[in-house]
Chain A
Amino acid sequence: DTEVTQTPKHLVMGMTNKKSLKCEQHMGHRAMYWYKQKAKKPPELMFVYSYEKLSINESVPSRFSPECPNSSLLNLHLHALQPEDSALYLCASSLLTGNTEAFFGQGTRLTVV
């Protein structure tokens, strides 16, 4: 099983809303990632969690707040987003950070209105 499950698949939110994206994996992976992907661009790294601790924050604005409640779950809390934050948000996991297979979820298509 190489499945990473993301919910919801689609999300429309207003600029004053608070919402959360969820990601789950049961492969025993200890590294989990959030990426943002704009149309016709590669995935852009936002956050890395290693052993449930935030290890990399790629200077992401504070309106994006990650959380790793346990080794299988990863959340991304959203607040006061801007229309330019509309994108496909991808979660991924790998056994360890770097040089191991990384598996992606199907993504959450976020639209900020």
Chain B
Amino acid sequence: GENVEQHPSTLSVQEGDSAVIKCTYSDSASNYFPWYKQELGKGPQLIIDIRSNVGEKKDQRIAVTLNKTAKHFSLHITETQPEDSAVYFCAASRRNTPLVFGKGTRLSVIA
């Protein structure tokens, strides 16, 4: 089955700096890669996703890149703000298979 590794487990950045979180997956048939943000006491919120036919996707300060050959994908947050502080999960899936999550990254943005 699919296995998703996520690094780092914790990340602290100064406000205004960039943050990068990386994930690798094992199943070459996986073709959908979402990222979730989870704030304390809340459910995970889908913030961006990418499919295997695309190498990069951007939405304002958030971008995701995918390298199918190397089986890894990354989340990039630019101009970080205190409200970006949360736990971020990457995930992978393919047709008829539920999401498999990475272990999460706790991001702290220091004002």
Residues of chain A touching chain B, judged by Cβ–Cβ distance below 8 Å, are 2, 4, 6, 33, 40-43, 45, 48, 56, 90, 96-107, 109
Contact = CB atoms under 8 A, between A and B. Distances in A.
B25 interface: no
Interface string B19-43: 0000000000001101010000111
Contacts, number: 61
B103 A105 contact: no
A38 to B, nearest CB: 12
Nearest to B51: A99
A101 B42 contact: no
A106 B42 contact: yes
Given A41-B103, A42-B89, A42-B104, A101 B98 contact: no
B89 A102 contact: no
Chain A interface mostly: loop
B32 A98 contact: yes
B60 interface: no
Q: Is the interface of B mostly helix, strand, loop or mixed?
A: loop
A98 B98 CA distance: 5
Interface residues of B, number: 24
Contacts of B89: 42-43
A4 B101 CA distance: 20
A101 B31 contact: no
A79 to B, nearest CB: 24
B45 interface: yes
